[in-house]
Amino acid sequence: MAASDVGAPHKGAKIFVTGHRGMVGSALLRRLQAGGYTQVITRTHAELDLVDQRSVHAFLAEEQPDYIFIAAAKVGGIQANNTYRADFIYQNLMIAANLVHGAHLAGVQRLMFLASSCIYPRDAAQPITEDALLTGALEATNEPYAIAKIAGVKLAECYNRQHGRQYVSVMPTNLYGPNDNYDLATSHVLPALIRKAHEAKQRGDKQLVVWGSGTPRREFLYVDDLADACVHLFEHSYDGPLVNIGCGQDVTIRQLAEVVKEVVGCPAEIVFDTSKPDGTPRKQLDVTRLASLGWRARTPLRDGIARAYAAAPFHTDNHRAST
């Protein structure tokens, strides 16, 4: 089954958004609230530890949500994934297992699991189609995270097949936007570049050092576009196989750094530190399936980076507002 308006959700549906303080969860929250949904429920980590099976199952049994967006995850860039390998596989496995099985036990019929395009094989043919999953070796630096996310996708598939649930999985490309992680020790490439360029400008540095060779290609999607795509599938009662969510275009890390430099207004010269890893050589998603379901990305990369920079916690205007 593809998208259908049969059984489309009503505005009073009880929707549980996990990870609502993160970049993806907060974007989903904004989109649902803007769409007039009146019963969106959330819990902070202090209120509900998603790694704790007993707590998750009890919460879902009590709340009985109509729909769940699984946007919570332990995430990070190459350095964080490579350093905290046990944390990444354990926490993400537990989050997926606890929520999917807990939803089933609570009688929740519909759920959306958000995976990540980095779980595709490292050398998958480009652009990557959904059926490339599990057809080759993973990128070594984020293999533990990828395995946990693949398990989440397969959990959804298995509960659908055995129990007749409507648990769908989506595969977002690289994301950026408000509430991104700008910690240079754990962040992804785009927020890291934004912060590095900002700080280089503030210090008057002559050079802006970028990890790797600058040749890998990446696709980037503004997080509010992702949220819109997820809600589009939700509202059209999508009940089909895995769906890639991206913009369908990629850029080199060098090109990305140049755009960031321009947006931030950083005059420093870009220098590449080739002693640092590049990661996957290229990662662009085939978004044919999503386009056939009536959705396309709207935010151009430069516009999205400008919005992300304006919302960054270290941006001059934001810093003044908080002091």
Longest dimension (CA), the chain: 60
Nearest-10 Cα torsion for 27, 33, 36, 37: 90
Q: Is 20 helix (H, G, I), strand (E, B) or coil?
A: coil
CA atoms of 37 and 15, how far apart (whole Å): 8
The encoded tokens of residue 172 equal: 């977002």
CA atoms of 221 and 219, how far apart (whole Å): 7
Q: Give the total residue count for the chain.
A: 323
Give one DSSP letter per residue of 94-115, joined into a string: HHHHHHHHHHHHTT--EEEEE-
Per the annotation, the verdict on 145 as an active-site residue is yes
CA atoms of 122 and 139, how far apart (whole Å): 5
In 3D space, the residue among 132, 131, 117, 110 whose CA is nearest the CA of residue 238 turns out to be 110
CA atoms of 95 and 149, how far apart (whole Å): 10
CA atoms of 73 and 149, how far apart (whole Å): 9
Can you give the C-alpha Rg of the chain in angstroms?
Answer: 19
The separation between the first and the last C-alpha atoms of the chain, rounded to the nearest angstrom, is 52
* Catalytic residue selected from 37, 145, 167, 176: 145
Q: Is 193 helix (H, G, I), strand (E, B) or coil?
A: helix
The encoded tokens of residue 235 equal: 């509202």
What amino acid occupies position 86? A
Residue partners of 173: CB distance under 8 A and separation at least 6: 117, 219, 220, 221, 244, 245, 246, 247, 283, 284, 285
Residues annotated as part of the active site: 145
